[in-house]
Structure 1
């Protein structure tokens, strides 16, 4: 973890593109509340197989125009170089200077026919560099508990290194609830000679049932002691939120104290949970000092 202490800490928040007018209003309110924290950037997700391509693009351009850098997620699965080139040109023309480059998920039922011209994120990173040079700061995904489709841990680490070698600047991890997984992952990267900022992805616990279901799909482990305590609360949503806030806050403290280069919050387009963790960590003062200087 010593290698990460050289990087300036950064903080960011992730949204998904809304599908309804009510969702648009909620996202704007969430954005406005989180903007008061002076984050380094926002990001906006990209649906499986490009299913939210227009929604992502419109949301990013709108949010980016409001004064805080906003990065689109961009995946290569289900797309082609012509479409990606058009998106890159549009983003560049609208002042976007950061992209989260991902492989993406194959839409259900498409199998191997849904890949498109590029199958892996390192190919997407390489293509963006060929097309746009160094205009974009490129973020890629990292998996401290390893990608659910990786054949083994070593293969996953090598896949990650390919993305860095292709031109990625930094990485954001899948969320996790065990800081040791992140520390172990970083130690392995250091031994491989990988030295870029790898920012922990943080998922506030709001609805434990939904988090459990999503964690099953994405391979994020929920420690047994957390799961058992959550189960004990049953339908007591307030106790679940309070306990979840305490658990995630303690983990964030441990990560930052050990030298993690910031935090990236998966907000699910809601502000309260991320704001509570932020205030618990005492980050208001740090960001105020950044503005002052």
Structure 2
């Protein structure tokens, strides 16, 4: 089923993101994660690349098996900044042959070695160009990324919103946000989207914080704001890993309940291939999720 059709029904979706295991781990480990998540009834599963795109060859295979073997809709990530047009066409053919109907179209992170290479001439510079390729190839439901606090490479928020509108104008059906920890910034972002004429469904990305190292990495790559409430948790439990994990899960639950009460189009949980925290979150929001769906009906 196409995700755009799910969202058109009006019920808030709940989805998970998983990623292929590192090359040093057996591929089957990701399906062990799926075994632990399948009974939570996500609306769809997103399959990303590994770090640096190192495991991109497994993305389509994993997404296809999730749909066929587990009976859960899947969306495959597709990045383009280091891809050739021939490579993208081959991947699209593989996605279509596998029976997948959903693609998350991303520019992708530019490898550090190429960032200052003046001779580098990529065939794709923007996700909007990839969206054009996907639409020309077949009838897929296309998702794109958005950034409630602005992309780290954007000059300013206005520039970032212009880039977002370009992706939507080129054919993105729905949007999934980068993780954030301040819901008010997300609500403000939705208002800004309306001002520039972007009216596609937006699924909120939530990552439960489980350790300090994770927080530092998140801030480095995304520059996301950490609100006072969140900082108090870090300060209080920095040297108590178990308590920090408990507090991180509770914070994610609080975020999601607030988002569902707001009427969010969907919630996307970045599982980090850790089923236990995801299970605890889903158990905590079960009744609120059901109530949110009833409210729509």
TM more than 0.5? yes
Question: Deviation per CA, 1:218-273, whole angstroms, max 9, x where unpaired?
Answer: 22222244224313223311110111112111111111101101200101111111
Give structure 2 stretches of 5+ with no counterpart.
Answer: 1-6
Structure 1 residue 190 corresponds to structure 2 residue 194: yes
SS of the counterpart of 1:72?
strand
- 1:119 counterpart = 2:125: yes
Q: Is residue 260–residue 289 contact of structure 2 (8 Å, CA) maintained in 1?
A: no
Residue 63 (structure 1) aligned to one of 66, 75, 79? 66
The aligned residue for residue 84 of structure 2 is 80
CA shift for structure 1 position 176: 0.4
Q: Give the direction of change, closer, same or farther, for the CA distance of 1:49–1:129 in structure 2 (3 Å limit).
A: farther
Distance 1:20 1:283 in 2: 39
Equivalent residue for 2:137, pick from 131, 153, 156: 131
1:250 aligned partner: 254
Alignment of 1:171-182 (within 5 A): 171-182=175-186
Residues 48 and 243 of structure 1: CA distance in aligned 2, closer, same or farther (over 3 Å): closer
Q: Which moved more, 1:171-180 or 1:213-222?
A: 213-222
The SS at the match of 1:36 is helix
Of residues 207, 211, 216 in structure 1, which corresponds to 2:211?
207
Closer, same or farther in 2 for the Cα pair 1:51/1:284, shift >3 Å? same
Shift of 1:192: 1.7
Query: How far apart are residue 212 of structure 1 and its match?
Result: 2.2
* Matched position secondary structure for 1:256: helix
1:2-81 superposed matches below 5 A? 7-20=10-23, 22=25, 24-47=27-50, 50-66=53-69, 67-81=71-85
Q: Deviations over 1:52-107 (max 9, x none)?
A: 22122332233232121221110111001111111111111111000010010011
Partner secondary structure for residue 110 of structure 1: helix
1:140–1:163 Cα contact (<8 Å) kept:
yes
Q: Secondary structure at the match of 1:71?
A: strand
Deviation at 1:195, TM superposition (A): 1.0
The worse-fitting range, judged by mean Cα deviation, of 202-211 and 135-144 is: 202-211
How far did residue 48 of structure 1 move? Answer: 6.2
Change (3 A) 1:209 1:167: same
- Deviation larger for 32-41 or 86-95: 32-41
Of 148, 151, 158, 1:147 maps to 151
Aligned residues: 285
What whole-Å deviation, never above 9, does each CA across 1:124-181 have from its counterpart, x for those lacking one?
111111122xx21101001001100000000000100100000000010000000001
C-alpha distance 262-122 of structure 1, shift in aligned 2 (>3 A): same
Segment of structure 1 superposing worse, 121-130 or 155-164 = 121-130
Contact residue 245 and residue 273 of structure 1 kept, 8 A: yes
Q: RMSD of the alignment, in Å?
A: 2.4
Rounded to whole Å, the distance in 2 between the matches of 1:121 and 1:95 is: 23
Q: Please say if residues 15 and 42 of structure 2, whose CA atoms lie closer than 8 Å, have aligned partners that are also in contact.
A: yes
